[in-house]
Chains A and B, each alone.
Chain A
């Protein structure tokens, strides 16, 4: 399909959904539901009085610290596990146990250990994000093409060059996919952290406006979360294409 036509369908669908939502939303009790123009007005108000930017800043701070920590710890840990069989055998039980544990279950413990402030929130987001990064890195390193490994050996590659020429580039798409997974989980972790620790950020806005039955304002942080999610995922995808241009073959852009 031509790109212009694809875009037209997307825009048309968006407009139809907005119009139907607007018409239906106006007919429902405003405490239970709302409609796009009311959300837009609430959005304008909350941006104007500085409330949304302030809380958004708190949330993003937690999210970014958590993401950086998850990448900084997850990639090296995944590499070590994939490279050294001993490390893998010593840790795989804990990794799979923690990965399968619903992280929400650990939140009270983290509050106990790290308190209610930013560090506790960062730790929660980190725990939500680190395992997809770690496990994908491990898979990526293990998934190295045997044929290319043989090429490197045949040309007498050193261990260091082997990582640079073969293992890291071949693991990169896996790592990027892990980061994308982590972003989705990290957003969940961020809101959970804001609900269960000292209430702050977008999570605070959601709780406050829900309790006050200000449904239009309640939708502002929710829509903001959606937009952050979409932007971060697209940003990660763009970064991946920039770092790994040979991958374009797979997305049909070449």
Chain B
């Protein structure tokens, strides 16, 4: 099950980006996004292997984050 987790772009380098989700940090490859521009504050979906697979719209990112927050609440309950 590849759970959809939006990762926030914290910094952009050449072909890579530093992203975060809560306390987690990772550097992901932007190869698959081809020429799609990526900027700090964007949200990315990251597949296994630290490859960004998709840049999310703000609405989609917010939606996914709210679902994940519900999961966190359920796990903590």
Q: Do A and B come from one complex?
A: no
